[in-house]
């Protein structure tokens, strides 16, 4: 009798225990894959630049030094450029969330004649490589005149000097080249965000909206008060991706920002040139020194989004309890 109980207990416990072990092994292995380059960056950027080539150092630096981080901070103009990137990323993210969720809702729940055409355009937005429209977009922003509207006399007085267009491709106002399209659901990877919202709204039960409709709730109010709270996880996903992608964007930003102060990722991309230019003797730095500084710069760029993620990730676990429908 006693033996039987023990065996039963063993039966129920052994798989669980094995399962936990397997899970731990997998997670630790994956963590290693993901952490390796980052730890490597940290390790290299904390070394003194002279000891980078020392073959006896693998992970732990012999001499801790913040010198390379300081230098990267200065060269990247971190305070200014990080704030610039932050403004772009936060502004565009908020604008993207609002506009893309509205469009996604419109595409998922209402029937109108040109809906499929609109959805086709959204797919086109996902598929078109950014390079394709980069040059026309640049020209569009360089002479931004709202399809010629601003060049007509009564409006042209609004533009600087009455020239009939805005030049959006300069340091401070170039921020608008990201925020304006985001406001109108055509920003960076907006097609994908619309698609994400549409899919997550499609997955929701229609009963909620029908109930709201019967209670006399208009479409906009239904959206704000019923749908948005249910789609928290979609919103957080879009927010995170939008922030990170705006923060990391360097191919389009490099085109729109002329002058010394550019978004942080563009600065990082140019760090090698900046390093060489900052060298007073015009002697090229050794490859290892350059690598230390660039690693330090990369570390500085990675940290803010990571901090953001650590603060927002708890909403991922919280959103479970907010599903409205029971049963």
Partner 1 sequence: MKNKDIPKQIKSAYSLSRRNAMAGRLFCLPLYIGVLLFFGLPLLQSFWYSFNDVVADVGGYVTTWVGLDNFHNIFRVNVYFTTSLTKSLTELLYKVPVVLIAALFFALLINQKFRGRVLTRAIFFLPVIIASGVVLKIINSDGAANSMMEGVSADSGSGSYGSIFDSSAVQNFLIEAGLNEKMVDYFGTIANSMFDLLWMTGIQMLMFLAALQSISPSLYEASAMEGATSWEDFWMITFPSLTPMLLVNIVYTIVDTFTDVANPVMLQIYKQYSGLYYGIASAMSWTYFLIIGVILALIMLIFSFIQRDEYLVQARKAEKLAARRAKLAAREAAMAAREVANQA
Report 6-25 residues binding partner 1 (CB under 8 A): 20, 23-24
Q: Is-contact 299 45, C-beta < 8 A?
A: yes
Would you count residue 127 as binding partner 1 (CB under 8 A)?
yes
Number of H helices, E strands in the chain: 16, 0
User: What pairs with residue 47 in β-bridges?
Assistant: 64
In this chain, which of 3, 4, 55, 153 binds partner 1, going by CB under 8 A? 55
Would you count residue 288 as binding partner 1 (CB under 8 A)?
yes
In this chain, which of 90, 94, 123, 217 binds partner 1, going by CB under 8 A? 123
Angle at the Cα of 224 from the Cα atoms of 211 and 178, rounded to 5 degrees = 150
Which tokens hold the place of 2? 């006693």
Selected range binding partner 1 among 1-9, 83-91, 165-173, 319-327, rule: CB under 8 A: 319-327
In this chain, which of 146, 152, 158, 258 binds partner 1, going by CB under 8 A? 146
User: What pairs with residue 64 in β-bridges?
Assistant: 47
Q: Which of residues 239-268 bind partner 1 (CB under 8 A)?
A: 240-241, 244-245, 247-251, 265, 268
Q: Is-contact 142 168, C-beta < 8 A?
A: yes
Would you count residue 286 as binding partner 1 (CB under 8 A)?
no
Would you count residue 313 as binding partner 1 (CB under 8 A)?
yes
Would you count residue 137 as binding partner 1 (CB under 8 A)?
yes
Q: Which of residues 65-104 bind partner 1 (CB under 8 A)?
A: 99, 102-103
What span, in angstroms and rounded, lies between the C-alpha atoms of 290 and 40? Answer: 15
Q: Which of residues 218-237 bind partner 1 (CB under 8 A)?
A: 219-220, 223, 230-231, 233-234, 236-237
In this chain, which of 186, 209, 212, 289 binds partner 1, going by CB under 8 A? 186
Helix (H, G, I), strand (E, B) or coil at 113: coil
Q: Which is nearer to partner 1, 59 or 282 (CB)?
A: 59
* CA atoms within 13 A of residue 245's CA, in its CB half-sphere: 18
Neighbours of 113 (CB within 10 A): 6
Selected range binding partner 1 among 62-70, 86-94, 150-158, 314-322, rule: CB under 8 A: 314-322
In this chain, which of 10, 14, 25, 26 binds partner 1, going by CB under 8 A? 26
What span, in angstroms and rounded, lies between the C-alpha atoms of 316 and 143? Answer: 43
Would you count residue 140 as binding partner 1 (CB under 8 A)?
yes
Cα–Cα separations (whole angstroms), residue 196 to 165, 231, 294, 299: 35, 11, 35, 30
DSSP 245-279: HHHH--HHHHHH--SS---HHHHHHTHHHHHHHH-
For the CB of residue 69, give the shortest distance to partner 1 in the complex, in Å.
Answer: 15
Q: How many residues bind partner 1 (CB under 8 A)?
A: 114
Q: Which is nearer to partner 1, 6 or 207 (CB)?
A: 207
For the CB of residue 315, give the shortest distance to partner 1 in the complex, in Å.
Answer: 9
């Amino acid at each position: 009798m006693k033996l039987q109980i023990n065996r039963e207990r063993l039966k129920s416990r052994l798989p669980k225990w094995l399962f936990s072990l397997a899970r731990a092994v997998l997670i630790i292995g994956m963590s290693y894959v993901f952490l390796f380059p980052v730890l490597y960056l940290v390790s290299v950027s904390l070394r003194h630049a002279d000891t980078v080539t020392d073959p006896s150092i693998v992970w732990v630096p012999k001499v801790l030094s913040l010198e390379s981080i300081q230098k990267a901070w200065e060269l990247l103009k971190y305070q200014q450029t990080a704030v610039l990137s932050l403004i772009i990323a936060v502004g565009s993210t908020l604008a993207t969330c609002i506009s893309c969720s509205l469009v996604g809702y419109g595409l998922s729940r209402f029937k109108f004649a040109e809906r499929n055409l609109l959805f086709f355009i959204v797919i086109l937005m996902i598929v078109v490589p950014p390079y394709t429209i980069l040059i026309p977009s640049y020209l569009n922003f360089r002479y931004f005149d709202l399809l010629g509207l601003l060049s007509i006399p009564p409006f042209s007085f609004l533009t600087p000097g009455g020239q009939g267009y805005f030049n959006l491709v300069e340091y401070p106002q170039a921020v608008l080249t990201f925020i304006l399209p985001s406001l109108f659901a055509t920003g960076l990877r907006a097609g994908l965000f619309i698609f994400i919202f549409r899919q997550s709204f499609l997955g929701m039960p229609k009963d909620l909206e029908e109930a709201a409709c019967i209670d006399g709730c208009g479409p906009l109010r239904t959206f704000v008060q019923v749908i948005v709270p249910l789609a928290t996880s979609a919103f957080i996903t879009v927010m995170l991706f939008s922030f990170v992608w705006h923060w990391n964007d360097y191919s389009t930003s490099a085109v729109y920002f002329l002058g010394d102060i550019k978004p942080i990722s563009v600065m990082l991309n140019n760090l090698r040139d900046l390093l060489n230019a900052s060298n007073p003797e015009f002697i090229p730095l050794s490859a290892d020194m350059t690598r230390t500084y660039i690693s330090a710069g990369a570390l500085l760029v990675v940290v803010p989004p990571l901090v953001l993620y650590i603060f927002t990730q708890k909403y991922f676990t919280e959103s479970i309890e907010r599903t409205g429908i029971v049963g």
